Structure formats: structure tokens, C-alpha cells
Copies of this chain bind each other. A is one copy, B any other.
Amino acid sequence: MTEDTPRRPPTSVDVARAAGVSQATVSYVLNDNPNARVSELTRQRVRDAAARLGYVPDASARTLRTGRSGIVLIPLSAARVGGLARDLLDDLGDELRLRGYTLVQYGERRLKGVAAAKAWAGLRPSAVIVEADRLTAASVELLRTSGTQVVIGLGGGPSPLVPVAVMDHAIIGALAARHLVERGCTRVAAVVPREQGIDAMGVSRLRGVRQIVPGAERIDLAFNPEEAGRLAAGGDLPDGIFAYNDEYALLVMSALQDAGLRVPEDVAIVGADDLLLASLVRPRLTTVRFDTLSLPSDLAVMIDELVRGERQPKPGAVFELFRPRLIVRSSA
């Protein structure tokens, strides 16, 4: 900061005084309220004064008065935001801003259940978008009574509590498994990450693999080279592995190569996410890519309609965010 005199921020009353009008007029002008009739001359005077004073409306006062914060809250720790979601998040933020909302990401990991919901509710968000498995009946009820108008879940399937933006993880596994089978693999396995927070997705993807290869094995793996090394050195490996995502795929591939195995000749590997890096490593990684299905602007419109009550949210409802597609390269 620059100086030590913490002046009070200018208010609409200050602007009114500077422009020689009442505070109400300032509010009418700056909000372009269509019900108000103010001459063009006065409008100019108000706008000039506001600009001159550097007036910025106080969001908390406005929220208190209107009962609507316009905040769309995504309680999601930064660490859990994947590559694709990152772009979607930025785009969605831009689209929401155009419609008068503020998309806010509020990372927290330690809070659980109702305690977490309380932290969210304090901001009086208009909407909360959160991983569906972090919601309970009690926390949804708390949000609802504290004025949150929209709660949207993120997850792998429908929830009895809220509508859910789904990503069908089973399909991802099934796509990978089908390719491995078509390539001639006879023994297929799926990696399930041990990391908390994504283990559930790992299980869903495994389920998809088993839709194609009923006996597919499950490999639980933590994201570190040592454990991957033990896996590779253990022998008795399948000849086709769906590795959950590209990062795990590279981890496994690296460990296999260290153990003297060839990819894809000895073991074929399929990843997911289509990171740019996946196309750079040797052999180039076959992967499942996610194409954005819902445009950010569509999502923003939907949220806006839900908040304004023009559309009724249905618990149990489901809409797709991404559609998976197989990219065949050399690792499988």
C-alpha cells in the first residue's frame, strides 16, 4: 500500500453531495434503473462525480439490501482442479461476470459436512457448485435455509439431493478397455489411485473397464515412483493397463521401462486427459480425451435461470459436462 491515512471509501452519499443530488438519484443513475426518470444532464453530473471520486459500490451493502449476493461459489481446493476444469472455470467466470455474477473459488480441505456448508453459507452465495459426495441432506438444508438459491453437484451420477453435472467415468474406462481388447490384450487391469478425493472416480472407471472385460484386475496405486517400481518388479503383469489418467500412465510406463519391459509390446497402456505431455513421451501415449460438451455460456445461462427462479431445479436430474473420446497413439 502507499500511505498511512486510511481514508473512508467514498459512498453513494459522497457522490450525491458532489453532484448536488440525492443519494437515491445516484443509485438510480448508476444502476440504470428503468423505472427512474432522471434527465440526461443530471445523469452526466452523477457519472462525472462518481468517476472523479473513484466511487465503487459496496458489495456487502448492496447484498444486504437486495438479498442477493450474485456470488457463485465453488468450494474446491486448488489442488483438485484438473487441467480441463481449469479452462472451464476461467471461461465460466467470464460468462457469469457478463450476467452480473461473481464466480469465486474458495479452497478448503479441512472442513467437512455441515461445518463446511456453514462456511459457504456465510457468504450468502446465490449458487454453490460442489462435489456431490461432499453434500449431505443436512448441509443442503442448511444452505437452503440460509438463502442459497441453487446448489449444483459435481459427480459421477445422480444425487437425490441436487441436480448433478456428471462426468460418466464408466464410459472412460469402457472406451479404454475396448481398445485394449481390440488390440489383442487378453489380460486387462485398471489402476485405481489411492489419493483421497479421486479414488471414487478411479473405482467408477474400473467399473467401466469391467463392463467390457468382466474379469479385469484392480491395481491400487499411490502416485509415487517407488510404489510403481514395486508393481513393475512384481512380475505376473497383465498385458493391457488402463492407468486412470495420463499422469498415472506415465508413472506406470516409466516403472515398466525401468523393469525392462517394452510398451506396448509387453504391456499396453492407456491414459486419460490428453495432456500435451502425453503426446511428447516415448512411446506416445494412447489416451482418452474429454471434449467440452456444455459451453460455458450455456452453463452461465442455466445458473442464471435457476437463480432467478425461471427454471426449477430437479434433484436427481443430471447433465453432461464432458464427452470422452479415445485418442490412439503408440502406447496401446
Cross-chain contact A4 with B312 (CB below 8 angstroms): yes
Q: Are B103 and A104 in contact (CB under 8 A)?
A: no
A313 touches B79 (CB 8 A): no
Question: Does A33 sit within 8 A of B, measured CB to CB?
Answer: no
**A1-37: which have CB < 8 Å to B?**
1-4, 6-10
- Nearest to A92 among chain B residues (CB) is B107
In angstroms, Cα B86 to Cα A81, docked, is 9
Copies held by the complex: 2
Q: A58-B124, A142-B56, A277-B277 are in contact. Are A94 and B78 (CB under 8 A)?
A: no
Q: Indicate whether A162 sits within 8 Å of B58 (C-beta atoms), given known contacts A106-B104, A251-B280, A276-B223.
A: no
Name which residue of chain B comes closest to A8, CB basis.
B147
The total of chain A residues at the interface (CB under 8 A) is: 78
Other-chain residue from B108, B225, B276 in contact with A280 (beta carbon distance below 8 A): B225
A90 touches B77 (CB 8 A): yes
A247 and B277 contacting across the interface, CB-CB below 8 Å: yes
- Asked if B1 contacts A162 (CB within 8 A), the reply is yes
Q: Kindly specify which of A115-123, A174-182, A185-193, A291-299 makes contact with the partner chain.
A: A115-123
Interface string of A144-162 (1 = CB under 8 A from B): 1111111100000000011
Contacts A/B (CB < 8 Å), 13 sampled: A6-B149, A56-B146, A60-B64, A60-B124, A61-B64, A78-B81, A97-B110, A103-B107, A247-B277, A251-B280, A253-B280, A257-B282, A277-B277
Using CB atoms and an 8 Å cutoff, list the residues of chain A in contact with chain B: 1-4, 6-10, 54, 56-61, 63-64, 69, 77-79, 81, 85-87, 89-90, 93-94, 97, 102-110, 118-119, 121-124, 140-142, 144-151, 161-162, 223-225, 247, 250-251, 253-254, 257, 276-277, 279-282, 309, 312-313, 315
